[in-house]
Amino acid sequence: NAGVTQTPKFQVLKTGQSMTLQCAQDMNHNSMYWYRQDPGMGLRLIYYSASEGTTDKGEVPNGYNVSRLNKREFSLRLESAAPSQTSVYFCASSDGGTDTQYFGPGTRLTVL
């Protein structure tokens, strides 16, 4: 049981480039989430998906798009990266009926 996996672990982009962060969970969870964490700060919710086929904006959605590909996978896309998007990105999932979210190891993204 791998839990929540994220790829890549590290990424450096130039301003204006695009990329997709991948997330997968093998716990059969309905809900999945994308957060960003800036240095010394708490996590901020970007987007979430309550169930397969649905996505909703979180606290800081601007500049991002998401796709809930199937129950297992939830991807985050940056169409035109900006230096302000330099951060660590965490994916999480949760089971129905509980607040416990399980987090992946994170992707450290730097935009130059």
Partner 1 sequence: LAKTTQPISMDSYEGQEVNITCSHNNIATNDYITWYQQFPSQGPRFIIQGYKTKVTNEVASLFIPADRKSSTLSLPRVSLSDTAVYYCLVGVRFSGGYNKLIFGAGTRLAVHP
Least separation in angstroms between residue 100's CB and partner 1 is: 5
Instruction: Give the range of 16-24, 47-55, 63-71, 78-86 binding partner 1 by CB under 8 A.
Output: 47-55
Least separation in angstroms between residue 26's CB and partner 1 is: 16
Instruction: Give the range of 15-23, 66-74, 79-87, 91-99 binding partner 1 by CB under 8 A.
Output: 91-99
Work out whether 74 is an interface residue with partner 1 (CB under 8 A).
no
Which strand (E) or helix (H) includes residue 101?
Answer: strand 101-103
| Distance, CA of 104 to CA of 4 (rounded, Å) | 5
Query: SS3 helix, strand, coil % of the chain, rounded to 5?
Result: 5, 50, 45
Size of the site for partner 1 (CB under 8 A): 31
**Is residue 87 within 8 Å of residue 110, measured between CB atoms?**
no
CA-closest candidate to residue 68, choices 102, 34, 96: 34
The residues that touch partner 1, with contacts defined as CB under 8 A, are 4, 30-31, 35, 40-45, 48-51, 58-59, 90, 92, 94-106
